[in-house]
Amino acid sequence: MRLAKIKNYQQANRFLINKFLPWYNAKYTHQAESVYVSLPADKDLDLVFCVKKERTVSNDNTIQIYGQTIQIPPSEMAISLAKRKVDVCILEDNRIFVLYKSKLIVESKISKNNKILKKEKIIEKQLNQRQYIAAM
């Protein structure tokens, strides 16, 4: 700015807007590339946006979730999954997916009148409200 013989703020602002910023932007800026990546075809969003719980399969090939018993049928992976850990994915519409080693083995549904599920949703709603109030 000294070389441009600037003596006050108005001249400095004019210099910055008319000379310096165009030069600086031309030299140092570049067009950003898109970082968008499309969703893989094998990715099921229902399994991403769900509540996941882990359960151990009983000796009679069943699991308990919200007081409901779900029978695990024999599969290609194993005749019996007794004593093994499975992932249970609970969706908003009360559907349940039971996964073993990320493979779907059972799809079921929880009754809308399930008392345990209703209580848990009420508690979750209250906790979310408290977090919202605490954040304010």
How do residues 30-78 score in pLDDT, each as one tens digit?
888 999 999 888 888 888 899 899 999 999 999 999 888 999 988 887 8
Do 96 and 104 meet the contact criterion of CB atoms below 8 Å apart?
no
> 27: which residues sit within 8 A by CB, 6+ positions away?
none
Question: What are the Cα distances from residue 79, in Å, to 13, 39, 60, 82, 111?
Answer: 78, 34, 12, 9, 28
pLDDT at 136: 59
Q: What percent of the chain has pLDDT over 90?
A: 41
pLDDT at 59: 94
Do 54 and 85 meet the contact criterion of CB atoms below 8 Å apart?
yes
Q: pTM for the full model?
A: 0.61
pLDDT at 129: 78
pLDDT at 134: 66
Do 121 and 93 meet the contact criterion of CB atoms below 8 Å apart?
no
Do 97 and 50 meet the contact criterion of CB atoms below 8 Å apart?
yes
pLDDT at 57: 94
pLDDT at 1: 65
Do 51 and 95 meet the contact criterion of CB atoms below 8 Å apart?
no
pLDDT at 85: 95
